[in-house]
Amino acid sequence: MDYTRLSVSDFITRAGSGSIDLRDFYSRMFKRLKELNKTYNVFVTLAEEHDILDAKSARKPSGTLAGLPVSLKDNICSEGLQATAGSRILEGYEPPFDSTVAARLKSRGGVIVGKTQMDEFGFGWASTNSGWKIPKNPRDPTRVTGGSSGGAAALVAALDYPHLALGQSTGGSLSNPASFCGVVGLTPTYGLVSRYGLIDYGNSLDKIGPIAGTVRDAALMLSAIAGHDPRDPTTAQKPPGDYHSKLKSSFRNLRIGIPREYFGEGVEPRVSERVWSAIKKLESLGATCKEISLPMTPDAIAIYYIIATSEASTNLARFCGLRYGAEEPIEGDFNEYFSKVRSKYLGQEAKRRIILGTYSRMAGYRDQYYLKAMRARTLLIQEFRKAFRTCDVLAAPAMPCIAPRFKETESMSPLQNYMMDILTVAPNLAGIPTISVPCGTAESMPVGLHLMAGHFNEQALLNTAHSYEKSI
Ligand code: GLN
């Protein structure tokens, strides 16, 4: 059987009815995964092939993901599988428990095949800050995958076997690599998906979400992981939707807002053009479009980097060389030991974030930076809420450019790096759901249409994206 022709849903139906030999499927798939990993560095850790083959020799798997291969970004814990969050400081750490999302995937029949590459702790936009190997873009290996969920997006783009990936976003890490690799990346509303068992970057910002080849597959994955979790008190109490079975390829009376600021300075004209043609397409399908303004857009980078680094600097304090991962011979007092381990094993960007975040939380500066950023964030949330009074969905580019070449990123300053997030940090700060869907190419590289919706309005977002995808 040629497994490469199977869609995710074909695979699930056939595997569920026992008409796929899973031993054969997984042994061929692992061969493919190893080849891809050699070419594109998509995994930090691949699961043990023999464990999977043994577990899968039982025929008929059940559940909505019956026997389907799934991958996890390296900051999502799965029992017994190394989790480093892209950092050398966590080398060898094997969590003794499952994150809630991993447990949910397993209980629905998903099979975890590996942990995908990422920027160290999520700090970056290109996956070039990984402590391990740097993933390459399958559309052009001289270019970055985007980040920080770069390995996941590259894997989905390169793999011709049925598979779904989970990534995670703090300030754009699902939309960005999805856009650069030409796949679908869905960032759920903050609090829709449990963060229990996620190695935190910024607790008030982190969202786990799907990366998939199609909108339908992303909806399937979201249905599998969404919903309240008593182990994560920030998850919403309300029951999640059934995104997959309610998915529609048409819409009625859809009002789309086009935020003027998202097409301004710094956005490449060839990217805006592709996105505008996608908007015209949605109009031809019956949507009404109007220009709107989100005036706080230029402030979002400053607000985001203060809040995200403040939260990251406290989260990283637990990596002190005593409880997890890397250790060194104990010498000197605690502070000396702590600095020795962290100086040796953390990358440059992680150190920069710790310094920035510690500064903005310090007595004397806290009011001026952290608390002020928190107040500004509330205003930004109100601005989005206001927009969703008259619009169902907003449309914009996901990234201001196509995936840059590695050599183009080498001379970028920290500020230039942070500016890459200009279009994604505001919706992430607001905690609203977004999706990046491929909408054409420039220089043969994919461009992502970014759709955003009000809190918990994932269904409208998915239906719009699905209608668009079906129409092209
Ligand atoms: N590029 C942003 C940052 O470095 C967002 C990354 C993310 O979402 N993890 O913080």
Break the chain down into helix, strand, coil percent, rounded to 5.
Answer: 45, 15, 40
CATH ID of 1-292+395-472, from 3.90.1300.10, 3.40.640.10, 1.10.10.10, 3.30.70.2470: 3.90.1300.10
Q: Specify whether 149 is catalytic.
A: no
- Whole-angstrom Cα distance, residue 435 to residue 433? 7
* CA of residue 453 to ligand 1 center, whole Å: 20
* CA of residue 192 to ligand 1 center, whole Å: 20
Ligand 1 pocket member 421 (CB < 6 A): yes
Please list, in sequence order, all residues whose beta carbon lies within 8 angstroms of the beta carbon of residue 234, skipping any fewer than 6 positions away: 190, 191, 195, 203
3-class secondary structure per residue, 307-335: HHHHHHHHHHHHCCCCCCCCCCCCCCCHH
pTM of the predicted model, to two decimals?
A: 0.98
* CA of residue 30 to ligand 1 center, whole Å: 30
Residue 164 bridge partners (DSSP): 70
Annotated catalytic residue: which of 73, 115, 136, 207?
73
Instruction: Say if CB 334 and CB 374 are below 8 A apart.
Output: no
Q: Specify whether 73 is catalytic.
A: yes
Q: Specify whether 223 is catalytic.
A: no
Residue 256 bridge partners (DSSP): 289, 393
Ligand 1 pocket member 169 (CB < 6 A): yes
* CA of residue 87 to ligand 1 center, whole Å: 15
**Atom number of ligand 1 nearest to Cα 305:** 10
Ligand 1 pocket member 171 (CB < 6 A): yes
Instruction: Say if CB 207 and CB 48 are below 8 A apart.
Output: no
Q: What is the full per-residue pLDDT of the chain (472 aa) written as tens digits?
A: 899 989 999 999 999 999 999 999 999 999 999 999 999 999 999 998 887 877 655 557 889 999 999 999 999 999 999 999 999 999 999 999 999 999 999 999 999 999 999 999 999 999 999 999 999 999 999 999 999 999 999 999 999 999 999 999 999 999 999 999 999 999 999 999 999 999 999 999 999 999 999 999 999 999 999 999 999 999 999 899 999 999 999 999 999 999 999 999 899 999 999 999 999 999 999 999 999 999 999 999 999 999 999 999 999 999 999 988 899 999 899 999 999 999 999 999 999 999 999 999 998 999 999 999 999 999 999 999 999 999 999 999 999 999 999 999 999 999 999 999 999 999 999 999 999 999 999 999 999 999 999 999 999 999 999 999 999 9
pLDDT tens-digit series, residues 299-354: 999 999 999 999 999 999 999 999 888 999 998 999 999 999 999 999 999 999 99
Which of 421, 424, 429 is the best mutation target for the ligand 1 pocket, counting ligand atoms within 8 Å of the beta carbon and taking the most? 421
**Atom number of ligand 1 nearest to Cα 418:** 1
Annotated catalytic residue: which of 78, 87, 99, 148?
148
- Whole-angstrom Cα distance, residue 369 to residue 143? 35
Ligand 1 pocket member 135 (CB < 6 A): no
- Whole-angstrom Cα distance, residue 103 to residue 112? 10
Q: What is the pLDDT of residue 452?
A: 98
Q: What is the pLDDT of residue 56?
A: 59
Among candidate residues 119, 103, 107, the one with its CA nearest the CA of residue 167: 119
Q: What is the pLDDT of residue 251?
A: 94
* CA of residue 113 to ligand 1 center, whole Å: 25
Distances (CA, A) of 455 to 17, 121, 154, 461: 37, 26, 28, 11
Which of 87, 116, 119, 148 is the best mutation target for the ligand 1 pocket, counting ligand atoms within 8 Å of the beta carbon and taking the most? 148
Q: Which residue's C-alpha comes closest to atom 9 of ligand 1?
A: 122
Ligand 1 pocket member 122 (CB < 6 A): yes
Q: What is the pLDDT of residue 323?
A: 86
Burial class (CB in 10 A: 0-12, 13-18, 19+), 441: middle
